[in-house]
Amino acid sequence: MSTSTSKAPKDAAHTTAAGSIAAPIYALVLAGGRSTRMQRDKAALAYHGRTQLEWAVSLLQPHAQRVFISVRPDQTGDPVRARFDQIVDTHENLGPAAGIMAAQAKHPQVAWLVLACDLPFLDNATLTHLIGARQPQRLATAYRSSHDGLPEPLCAIYEPASREPLLAHVAKGKDCPRKFLINSDVQLIDEPNPNALDNVNTPDEYGAAMAALSPAEIPGAKKIDAGTGRVHVGTKPGAGAAGARGATTTTPGSAAGATLNGAPADKRIKVQYYAILREQAGRSDESIVTAAHTPRDLYNELKSRYPFSLAPEMLRVAVNAEFGEWSQRLADGDSVVFIPPVAGG
């Protein structure tokens, strides 16, 4: 495989280590799902100042000759999807496999870089790494999940030779692309960014993703009432505690007393909870005064108050809109989000 450091044009043919020419790459964003668990169209969710579908297409454009989106027949005129080149599913109730099969049927001589539309943490480096590790002589190149070690089928390159085996897989009543990759000749590579392929399927996961990407964009961000100088969390200033479940109010500069474990207080931290942690805490956010030095210290303090069942190793932590380390130092005014695991691709 070529290791040239210069950036090849996106329409250049891929050359293998043996010198053979590989199929060109087209890209497909899977946007034909029904978003049942999210209860709203995932493709239309806003991240990075644009819809997630638009974001996904823009990420793929530098890496493929052409970019298409996969849609159901009833979605072709949808405003979110209408402006993109579309490939319409020809099979019903097959999930992502329907989109992949329709794309391979329309352009069978190209390799397809297939991408789910619900990956808000995906970055250009992850796509670049995937293409750089491509082995066209195999049926597919995919990432090995950082969660369970299994293939990630919805950020993967499917070679032209994978078409017939995938059709045979589906003909046997099997429509799971991951199981297809598990049982196929596939090049698996490790993720350079273990967060990049975390997908978002539910309202709680969407809230956690938005908190990690930009706390300022989500409801419940800290607001200060200019009239009273009081800090309100989870509701509009002056709306009262009924404005949000679990909302709390503190006064800047007040003597808030002891921390959760009774130690002297030295910093005020905004904490947000999602999914199972919200259920176990009985609230979505709160502002606490703590002597905790690190997110790990803070989580251990909170475990003494709430029946949290997840160990820190099962969670990710974000501090001030950026993924952080459990050992990093906390400062007064920090915003901390503990993020439960979400499903892989």
Tens of pLDDT along 116-162?
A: 999 999 999 999 999 999 999 999 999 999 888 999 999 999 999 99
Report pLDDT for 14. Answer: 55
Q: Please give the order of strands across the beta sheet that includes 322-323.
A: 285-290, 267-273, 335-339, 316-319, 322-323
Q: Count other C-beta atoms under 10 Å from residue 276's C-beta.
A: 15
Please give the domain boundaries of the chain with CATH numbers for all domains.
Answer: 14-190 (3.90.550.10), 203-339 (3.10.20.30)
CA distance 141 to 189: 8
* pTM score, whole prediction: 0.64
b or e along 135-157 (b: 16 or more beta carbons within 10 Å of the residue's beta carbon)? bbebbbbbbebbbeebbbbbbbb
For residue 278, name the pLDDT band (cuts at 50, 70, 90): confident
**Where are any strands of DSSP class E within the chain?**
14-15, 21-22, 25-30, 46-47, 50-51, 67-71, 86-88, 111-116, 140-144, 151-158, 186-190, 223-224, 231-233, 248-250, 267-273, 285-290, 316-319, 322-323, 335-339
| Mean pLDDT score, 44-68 | 92
Give, as one character, the DSSP assignment of residue 135. Answer: -
Residues in Cβ contact with 192 at an 8 Å cutoff, skipping those fewer than 6 apart: 125, 126, 129
- For 58-86, what is each residue's pLDDT tens digit? 999 999 999 999 999 999 999 999 999 99
Q: Count other C-beta atoms under 10 Å from residue 227's C-beta.
A: 8
Helices 124-132 and 52-60 sit at what angle, rounded to 10 degrees? 40
Mean residue pLDDT of the chain comes to: 80
For residue 236, name the pLDDT band (cuts at 50, 70, 90): very low
- For 323-340, what is each residue's pLDDT tens digit? 888 999 999 999 999 888
Report pLDDT for 13. Answer: 52
Does residue 184 have a pLDDT over 90? yes
- Is the CB of residue 175 less than 8 Å from the CB of residue 94? yes
| Mean pLDDT score, 285-308 | 91
